[in-house]
Amino acid sequence: MDHSQSYSQAQVSGLGQTELESRALIRTAAGLNQVKEHWEEKKDELGDVLEKNRKLWAILASAMKEDDCPQPPEIRRNILSLAVFIFQRTVDIIAHPDPKKLDVLININMNLAKGLSGDGEEK
pTM above 0.85, yes or no: no
Domain extents in the chain:
15-117
Q: How far is 102 from 92, CA to CA, in rounded Å?
A: 11
Please give the biggest Cα pair distance in the chain. Answer: 44
The DSSP annotation for 43-66 comes to GGGHHHHHHHHHHHHHHHHHHHHS
- Cα separation, 25 vs 91, in Å, equals 19
Secondary structure class of 8 (helix, strand, coil): helix
**Per-residue confidence of the chain (123 residues) as pLDDT tens digits?**
444 444 344 344 445 778 888 999 999 999 999 999 999 999 999 999 999 999 999 999 999 999 888 888 998 999 999 999 999 999 999 999 999 999 999 999 999 999 877 754 443
Q: Which CATH class is domain 15-117?
A: mainly alpha
Question: Do 94 and 102 contact (CB within 8 A), yes or no?
Answer: no
